[in-house]
Amino acid sequence: MLEHLIFDSPLGLLTAVANDAGLQAVYMAEHKRRPAQETMGGRVAAADSAVLGQAAAELAEYFAGSRHQFSVRLAPLGSPFQHRVWAALRAIPFGEVRSYGELAATLGDESMAQAVGSANGRNPISIIVPCHRVVGADGALVGYAGGLDRKQFLLELENPAWTGTEALF
């Protein structure tokens, strides 16, 4: 059964979506690929869903600075290639960044940087699957479905000394 939970965060309202297998998505209010609210299942309270309650609690700990890894069960919908990219994203250490080319090389083919960027952009589980940790080859902030200001916020939250080129456009 599909259900969702809406909760506040330093980035504004977040909507977490889960099915019986686990957490399917975390969307920001202005998420570029956010589906219509009516497709997210019934709205529940955190106490009424173990997965959604855990996701909200872990995200609160992350924003408070006390959580660097997530343990909530994930069940994103995507192609096998997208799942490979999302697994590679989860392997990027807290507070570090990688370029699209570096991520593609991790997957075995540096020439797949554009395909990696496309899969990264379709990551439905914002923050928990840390697509915000991927930057341009020159360190510039590029491509984030929640907006580049949120991407910069997350990178600085994880590493206050982060000094990427901070090119916002």
Domain limits, the chain = 3-64, 80-158
Cβ-contact 5, 46 below 8 angstroms: yes
Mean of the pLDDT values across residues 80-99?
A: 96
Catalytic amino acids?
A: 131
For residue 39, the model assigns a pLDDT of: 79
Q: How far apart are CA 31 and CA 39, in angstroms?
A: 15
Lowest mean pLDDT among 48-52, 103-107, 127-131, 145-149: 145-149
pLDDT over 70 (residue 165): no
C-alpha separations of 106 from 36, 38, 55, 92 in Å = 34, 37, 28, 11
Q: How far apart are CA 159 and CA 37, in angstroms?
A: 33
pLDDT band of residue 167 (cuts 50, 70, 90) is very low
CATH number of 80-158: 1.10.10.10
pLDDT over 90 (residue 161): no
Cβ-contact 17, 40 below 8 angstroms: yes
Q: How far apart are CA 137 and CA 106, in angstroms?
A: 15
Q: What average pLDDT is seen over the chain?
A: 90
Mean of the pLDDT values across residues 94-100?
A: 94
The model's pLDDT over 120-130, given as tens digits with 9 standing for 90+, comes to: 989 999 999 99
